[in-house]
Amino acid sequence: MSFGLGNEVNEELVNQRGVYGNVSDKYIITPTQDIITELNKYHGFKTVGYNQANVRKKEKANYQKHMVMLEAEDSKMFDGTLRIVLFNSNDRSTSIRMYLGYYRDACANDCVFGDDLMEPVMIKHTRQDWRSSVKEMADNYLSAKQQTEDMIDRMRTKKLSYGDIYKLTEKVSNDIWKGSGSILDHTQFANAQREDDLGKDLWHTYQRIQCNLLQGGVDRILTHVDDGQVIKKLSNTHKVSDVSEQIRINRLLHTACMEVA
């Protein structure tokens, strides 16, 4: 499921109080709109983006996995904003999940930055007290914002040599594609695709690597064994549109960068 900030909210889905399929008596529906309304009580969180999964069965329409991105009234900082990404479904495909992270204005990757700000908030569809989890997210918002500002400051002041940069791209490449049969020229991840990303500090290096990881186009050799023979094929990496995969990749990248900061 890809994410688009310009997508119009499906009001029927976010207000859905029914469930698709057979569920136990313990299953509790928590409409996405109820969570949005609750979040709005804290720091004025409002919806700024929306998307939903495609469905193959028509009867699953307006029950499927979806996500909403929210910003607070005071979310602006440096060159981006601190946002909440909220996942939910009424077809049992996912529990309620909320991620808090930093989004850069110059970046079109739609990816959370700063995964260590706080653990994602998970709410099973069997819990009555979901409002306490929403409050937990809201209560941590201001401290997370300060942590983000401090983190960006450290990364902007951390200068890297070309050797440092290529060690970082090699580590990230190995962490993400190890065991996949892909052979990549990891140095390509350090190439700038935007003028805004030029710079040898850790912050701009992070942005370049992230952009190349998520936008794709990096040369690679795919290998597999067929009838005992090793087959190699020249290819390139693909754009990552699935948000769960974006978050997974960004976690690995962020962890690697924090080891350097």
Residues 224 and 118 in one domain: no
Does 6 fall in a domain? no
* Domain span at 132: 11-153
Q: What was the pLDDT predicted at 6?
A: 52
Structural tokens at position 188:
């390509």
Residues 200 and 218 in one domain: yes
Out of 134, 153, 172, pick the residue that ends a domain.
153
- Determine what percent of the chain is predicted with pLDDT higher than 90: 34
- Residue 111 clears pLDDT 70, i.e. is over it: no
Pairing outcome for strands 80-88 and 96-104? antiparallel
Residues 162 and 70 in one domain: no
Average pLDDT over residues 104-115: 57
- Residue 135 clears pLDDT 70, i.e. is over it: yes
Residues 183 and 146 in one domain: no
Does 41 fall in a domain? yes
Q: What was the pLDDT predicted at 108?
A: 55
Average pLDDT over residues 76-105: 86
Residues 59 and 115 in one domain: yes
Residues 142 and 193 in one domain: no
Residues 114 and 143 in one domain: yes
Residues 19 and 116 in one domain: yes
Q: What was the pLDDT predicted at 184?
A: 82
Other CB atoms within 10 Å distance of the CB of residue 54: 9
Does 1 fall in a domain? no
According to DSSP, the residues that pair with 217 across neighbouring strands are: none
Q: Please indicate whether residue 156 or residue 244 has the higher confidence score (pLDDT).
A: 156
Round to whole Å and give the CA distance between 144 and 140: 6
Least Cα distance to 70 among 91, 48, 51 occurs for: 48
Does 4 fall in a domain? no
Reduce the secondary structure of 196-257 to three states and give it as a string: HHCCCEHHHHHHHHHHHHHHCCCEEEEEEEECCEEEEEEEECCCCCCHHHHHHHHHHHHHHH
Q: Choose from 14-18, 176-180, 184-188 the range with maximum mean pLDDT.
A: 14-18
Q: What was the pLDDT predicted at 151?
A: 87
Residues 27 and 133 in one domain: yes
Banded pLDDT at 61 (limits 50, 70, 90): very high
- Residue 130 clears pLDDT 50, i.e. is over it: yes
Does 119 fall in a domain? yes
Q: Give the pTM.
A: 0.78
